[in-house]
Amino acid sequence: MPAPIHHVVLVGARLLDGRSPEAIADGVVVTDEQGRIVAAGPAQATTVPKDAERIDVSGLTVVPGLIDCHVHLALRLEPVHDRVQRSATDIVVRCLQAGRAFLEGGVTTVRDAGYTPAGIKRAFASGAFPGPRTQVSCQPLSQTGGHGDEWTPSGAIIATEMSDLPPGIADGPDAVRRATRLQIRAGADWIKVMATGGVWSAADFPDSSQFTVDEIRAIVEEAQAAGIRGTLAHAEGTAGIKNALRAGISSIEHGDLIDDEGIDLMLERDVPLIPTFNINFSLMDEARIARGEVPPWAVEKMRYLFEHQQRNFRHAVERGVRVVMGTDSFAGMYPPAELAYMSEYGLGPFRAIQASTIEAARLLGLTDQVGTLEAGKQADLIAVSGDPLTEPELWRDPARIVFVMQGGRVAADRRGA
């Protein structure tokens, strides 16, 4: 059973509340027995209950818990001969292990972008297993031969079947409506749409369009009718990005080849971009390639896309597109590095923090619960060594995340390490 929640006060912090780039030099955060924030502000102006448990975070910077809007708890970069050995039980265990690792690394809330069953979010929510607050999209929807179709040129389909992940391959408006309803029945909070080809898939290309506007619109309509959180589109190619936007998609994932017309649509419809730099660097990592974890075709396509993505992301930021953190992280990867990449490629340190907190909470419909350090919100927070506003590269180093709290419970404490 999880440890009980106590009345807690964090003292000695340098506080960044997620709303303002102005840090509070001597800040405190007071939480109650329900795991909510009672107060967050300067020590001299904040009342601290006498019976509160004090946690000294002197010398650290406290920020809201990170929110990653594009993860895959069920996946791992691994050679094909390892993939084919994974049973459904192995995948569930992986999800639970990845969730714990993400949480202890400072990611307190996630949106899973595919292949994780709804039972995982329930396991985390129940407190039976440590993990982030989780929203799921169950099985991504793909056209036949699309980015979500696991078919390979040999004719083999390399995928682990899970009984609570309904099939996602569908063609035509009527079929995609049914496929959407199946995911919703299975507990999906979001519907993931493969609107273009991708890097990992063997049989397509990132700049190819997949699903018509009418097909994507049918998916969006079903999600809206059911009242779930929304829809997200894997969208790398120029035309497919615009198809998804015209159909009413809620967020664009990757967006590597976006052009000005696509940016116009995003601004007009207030749709955020989720760049996912983290997976790009992982796919180009020479050690992973040498171990056979990344197939040759994926390396080739990623190198083709990466220069375009850097340039187009900078341009989208300059034009005012909303950016939300999403890493495309698999099990065994380190999501917080995304903040360093976003900062480096044009967003800057403070906006990178906001993309990972307040803006991410807005996308997930959780602004009344998480995303900032203020009274009434869940006590989701992390303490890092150093100043992320002047040293954004600290996000690349797991050792710099010293303390993690989720809902008033301490998830990781490395202050004495």
Per-residue pLDDT tens digits for 118-139: 999 999 999 999 999 999 999 9
Residue 17's pLDDT band (cuts 50, 70, 90)? very high
Domains of the chain plus CATH, in order, are 8-65+371-413 (2.30.40.10), 70-276+303-364 (3.20.20.140)
Total residues belonging to the chain: 417
Instruction: Report DSSP letters for 144-162, one per residue.
Output: TTSTT--B-TTS-B-----
Q: What are phi and psi of 308, to 5 degrees?
A: -65, -40
Q: Mapped to the 3 state alphabet, what secondary structure does 19-49 carry?
A: CCCCCEEEEEEEECCCCEEEEEEEHHHCCCC
194 has which bridge partners? 234
**pLDDT for 201:** 85
Residue carrying structure tokens 């793909």: 142
For the stretch 340-365, pLDDT in tens is 999 999 999 999 999 999 999 999 99
Residue 300: its pLDDT value, please? 87
Condensed to tens digits (0 to 9), the pLDDT of residues 23-54 reads: 999 999 999 999 999 999 999 988 888 888 99
Per-residue pLDDT at 156: 78
Residue 83: per-residue pLDDT: 83
Percent helix, strand, coil in the chain, to 5, is 35, 20, 40
Greater pLDDT, 361 or 295 = 361
Alpha-carbon separation of residue 386 from 102, 335, 336, 390 (angstroms):
21, 18, 15, 9
**Residue 6 pLDDT > 80, yes or no?**
no
**Confidence grade of residue 80 (pLDDT, cut at 50, 70, 90):** confident
* Residue 351 one-letter amino acid: R
Band (298; pLDDT cuts 50, 70, 90): confident
318-333 mean pLDDT: 96
To the nearest whole number, what is the mean pLDDT of the chain?
A: 94
Helix (H) or strand (E) run with residue 410 in it: strand 409-413
* Percentage above 90 pLDDT, the chain: 83
| Paired tokens of 245 | 């936007």
Q: Give DSSP secondary structure letters for 295-362.
A: -HHHHHHHHHHHHHHHHHHHHHHHHT--B-----EETT--TTHHHHHHIIIII-HHHHHHHTTHHHHH
Token pair belonging to 385: 């060594």
Whether the predicted pLDDT of 3 surpasses 80: no
Q: Is 110 helix (H, G, I), strand (E, B) or coil?
A: strand
pLDDT tens-digit profile of 166-194? 999 999 999 999 999 999 999 999 999 99
